Structure 1
Amino acid sequence: MRNAAANVVSTLVKAGHEAVFAGGCVRDMLRGVDPKDYDVATSARPAQVQALFPHSIPVGAHFGVIIVRKGPHQIEVATFRRDGTYTDGRRPDSVEFTSAVEDAKRRDFTVNGLFYNPLTEEVLDYVGGRADLERKLLRAIGDARSRFREDHLRLLRAVRFATVLGYEIDADTWSAMRDLAPEVASVSAERIREELVKIFLHPNRVRGFDLLVDSGLMKAVLPEILALQGCEQPPQWHPEGDVFKHTRIMLGLLPAKVSLPLVLSVLLHDIAKPATYEVDETGRIRFNGHDKQGAEMTEEILRRLKFPNDVIHPTVEAVANHMMFKDVQKMRVSKLKRFMARPTYEDEMELHRVDCMSSNGLTENYDFLRAKEAEFAAELRPLVPAPLINGHEIMAMGVPAGPRVGELLRMVQDLQLEGSLKTAEEAREWIRAKTL
């Protein structure tokens, strides 16, 4: 992709235009990290870019943005510009095509405002970004409040960059973030969601969590998390403290690479504890039904943030089921196999593991399930194999259509899973004896 982007720069320069790599790709190159993509900034106007690259796509010609195709790669080419006023807190009302210097000054953070000429290997720094890279400092370009007022999403982007890069946030930039945090509510749910996803999927997610809370952004985008603060738990089971501390510790215990439903289920598994908090007659703290109510709250939160169903459903299921692990050693084999055969099982196991390790450290049920996995694997057949008999066969044996058919199917499968019935004929004989 770098060669493709350099070829685009070369074509623009040969046509008499100024052209450079811009933004995050320059930042990452200077950090010794391979960029995920390459953007080009140029003095060429959109029509001139399209003339040089006939199969290009004008995705944002009003803002001077053209996508140039180079083989399998798509290179974003943007004309140097100065932004006009912002009235919606997201995009400028107008743009003026201008110089590289002005283009750098309208960007968000100094480390993202660097340019690089791949033909001369020269870094162009008009905003002090190189020094901030060396200091590992995230600093807004120019007046921080002005940059955040222009585009409220930059508030979350600041947290994301500080999390992913591991950088400190400049004091003036941080002060502006805290003052303007409520403004992020004007950003679309989809854009908020995407920033949160990038923060919580990163191995440095606890830092991101802390920055969201301390900046006031968590209050604006996920206020339910703050309700966990001060929600005390039974000390004999949770010596770590309140639900907020418990959740934060769990995030830190997760492996570096996690699925999105897993990290969301960790974040939200106890979200209903404040709503279900009570103290019984013995003085013990209880959260009766917090798993089921938490599943309902989780679905509401994730739908509010416009998550897709393939993320919502497994996350909700994990929250709803996280208390079932305390009963696994009491389950019948048939129920246990069904429990373990669910597609969400592995993520739920990891949720259970960090839930235990962040509190009392007791992993008996986790260890029991891992042992059962090995035991069931030795049987050399699926945990839940194909049924020995179906509903039509049961009705052909004289059982009327209705709930009784489903009940018999379930009973046969229970016995199949427990090894009592092994063949279809044994299943038919059992049904005949049961229905005589």
Structure 2
Amino acid sequence: MTARESATELARRLTAAGHAALFAGGCVRDRLLGHEPKDYDIATSATPAEVLGLFPGSNEVGAHFGVVIVRHGGHSTEIATFRTDGSYKDGRRPEQVTFSTPEEDAARRDFTINALFEDPASCEIIDHTGGLADLKAKRLRTVGRPADRFSEDALRLLRAVRFAARLDFQIETETWSAVRELAPTLGRISIERIRDEFSRILTCPSRARGLDLLTESGLIDVFLPEVRALIGCEQPPQWHPEGDVYVHTRIMLDLLADDAPLPLCLAVLLHDIAKPPTQTVDADGRLRFNGHDALGAEMAREILHRLKYPNAVIDDVVFMVARHMQFMHVQDMRVAKLKRFMAAPTFAGELELHRVDCASSNGFTDNLEFLIAKREEFANEPIVPAPLITGRDLIERGEKPGPHFKAILEDAQTEQLEGRLASREEALDWLEARLDS
């Protein structure tokens, strides 16, 4: 059973019980745009109690807001009672809601393209706000006065950017003016909600346009002001003919695959975040950014902690930012060092970061091609295999645990990675000689 079939059956049972039941919001919008909706929402005249009566055991996640989650046919469908919202004193949630009509329910929604209804039985589209015309014109427009909608929930400012980027829509003039004017009010929203919306923008295929809209609107200054300094931070033209650090970064984002994972997108965004504070000019006029990778890793950690990303995401991003300049030296690395370098869990992401870094600037591909060839060469066995000797072998030979253990075991691993130790017997002979020296 598909998600639509499941939701259609739920709507049929609601209407059979005498209630109105319509598909609502994003599922209607996406289907009209030719995209298969991931899930379906139903708006109904039934109260939450009536919905629970028809579907006992469902999850009443928001009785105050008239929302019930019904599980059916392997899918979860949100069923919400038609409502009118009261005042939004906290800039996020209405103080009270009143169950109402489809027309009034449409009037409380954020954007016209999200205020469309569909009759599940006839597939008729019900449009109370002009959303169909806006869909056809590829235009994002608020329902009613933009200032009213954004003051109700300032997160809608970020949602405007997300929908415009994801759908490749133009933001209607009055709506865009309100986004720019009210951008500072985003600061009233919890950082967790901002982070989640920002992550959706950064992982959509049009993430570069999303970044442009965040920057042009001033929204980026509320939660990631460090990006502003990238604009106008010039780079050596012989290495970066594309322009300043911001231009370089947005081109890299644009070159990523549509389904690039969040840690990679964040690493690309932040890989040169420390170029502005490290920029110096030599006596001959050459621009330099010494140490921007190390400082960038520190800045990335502070930024991502501030945005409350999970530690696993932070660690991966920081590691990728810290190492991104080492790719220029890979052809000079000894085999052992190169294998350790390539064995990092983040290496696939780092390789992609390096690819778009070069493609967006000087176009050099020699290090990329070298690493791809090495990856194929090392593919038949683990890049860093299990060690041939361990600390227990040292203890059995009368050595007391201490800092020298690490040096000995690392040297043994280097010999193994370089191909000079191929068996445990050879490694034990090497160890005996090492301890006797």
**What percentage of residue pairs aligned between the two structures are identical?**
58
Instruction: Supply the distance in 2 between the matched residues of 1:216 and 1:198 (Cα, whole angstroms).
Output: 18
SS at match of 1:295: helix
Q: How do residues 104-119 of structure 1 correspond to structure 2 at under 5 angstroms?
A: 104-119=106-121
Q: Specify the alignment match of 1:127 in structure 2.
A: 129
Q: Distance in 1 between matches of 2:381 and 2:74?
A: 43
1:361 corresponds to which residue?
363
1:95 corresponding residue in structure 2: 97
Q: 5+ unaligned residues in a row in structure 2: which ranges? A: none
Distance 1:357 1:109 in 2: 37
Aligned residues between the structures: 434
Contact residue 395 and residue 405 of structure 1 kept, 8 A:
no
**Once the two structures are superposed, what CA deviation does each residue of 1:109-161 show, in whole Å capped at 9, x if it has no partner?**
00100111112322111111111111111110011110001110100001111
Asked if the contact 1:201–1:263 (Cα under 8 Å) also holds between the matched residues in 2, the reply is yes
- The residue number in structure 1 matching 2:410 is 410
What residue in structure 2 maps to residue 328 of structure 1? 330
Q: CA deviation at 1:376?
A: 2.3
Q: If the length of structure 1 is used for normalisation, what is the TM-score?
A: 0.97
The structural deviation recorded for 1:32 is 2.0
Residue of structure 2 in register with 1:426 after alignment: 426
**In the alignment, residue 385 of structure 1 is paired with which amino acid?**
P
Q: Specify the alignment match of 2:201 in structure 1.
A: 199
| 3-state SS of 2:409 partner | helix
Partners of 2:73 and 2:251 lie apart in 1 by 46
The equivalent position to 1:39 in structure 2, one of 38, 41, 44, is 41
Instruction: Tell me which residue corresponds to 2:15.
Output: 13
1:357 offset after TM fit, Å? 1.4
Q: What is aligned with 1:63?
A: 65
CA separation in 2, counterparts of 1:270 and 1:323? Answer: 10
SS at match of 2:210: helix
**CA offsets per residue over residues 322-345 of structure 1, 9 Å max, x none?**
011111111111010011111101
Q: Cα RMSD over matched residues? A: 1.2
Corresponding residue for residue 238 of structure 1: 240
Cα distance, 1:5 vs. partner? 1.1
Deviations 1:11-48 (A, max 9, x none): 11121111111111111122222111111111111111
1:165 alignment counterpart: 167
Asked whether the 8 Å contact 1:277–1:285 carries over to 2, the reply is: yes
1:186 matched residue in structure 2: 188
Name the CA distance, whole Å, in 2 between partners of 1:77 and 1:396.
67
Determine if the alignment matches structure 1 residue 381 to structure 2 residue 369: no
Offset, 1:434: 2.0
Question: Within 2, Cα distance between the matches of 1:175 and 1:397?
Answer: 76
Q: Which runs of 5+ in 1 are unaligned?
A: none
| 2:353 alignment counterpart | 351
1:108–1:147 contact (8 Å) kept in structure 2: yes
Structure 1 stretch displaced more, 64-73 or 158-167: 64-73
Q: Which AA in structure 2 matches 1:213? A: T
Aligned AA (1:422)? A
Q: Structure 1 residue 375: deviation in Å?
A: 2.3
Aligned partners of 2:181 and 2:143: how far apart in 1? Answer: 17
Partner of 2:57, secondary structure, is coil
Match of 2:391 in 1: 391
TM-score, normalization by structure 2: 0.97
In 1: Cα distance, 2:382 partner to 2:31 partner: 48
Return the letter of the residue paired with 2:138. Answer: K
Residue aligned with 2:378, SS: helix
Deviations 1:238-284 (A, max 9, x none): 22221111111111121222111111111000001111111234432
The one-letter code matched in structure 1 to 2:153 is D
The aligned residue for residue 4 of structure 1 is 6
Question: 2:179 maps to which residue?
Answer: 177
Whole-Å separation in 1 of the counterparts to 2:9 and 2:233: 58
Per the alignment, residue 302 of structure 1 pairs with 304
Letter in 2 for 1:414: T
Is residue 2:53 matched to residue 1:51?
A: yes
Match of 1:271, SS? Answer: coil
- 2: CA distance between counterparts of 1:212 and 1:272? 20
Which residue in 1 is equivalent to 2:147? 145
**Letter in structure 2 aligned against 1:106:** R
Partners of 1:346 and 1:420 in 2: how far apart? 28
Amino acid at match of 1:34: E
Q: Which amino acid in 2 is paired with 1:395? A: I
Residues of 1 paired with 2:254 and 2:32: CA distance? 29
Q: Which moved more, 1:311-320 or 1:273-282?
A: 273-282
Match of 1:319 in 2: 321
Letter in structure 2 aligned against 1:328? V
- Mapped to 2, the partners of 1:160 and 1:26 lie a distance apart of 18
- 1:403 maps to a residue whose letter is P
CA distance, structure 2, for counterparts of residue 273 and residue 394 of structure 1? 46
What does the per-residue CA deviation read over 1:290-340, in whole Å, with 9 as the maximum and x for residues that have no partner? 111111111111111121122111111100000111111111110100111
Q: For residue 408 of structure 2, what is the amino acid of its counterpart?
A: L
1:79 equivalent in structure 2: 81
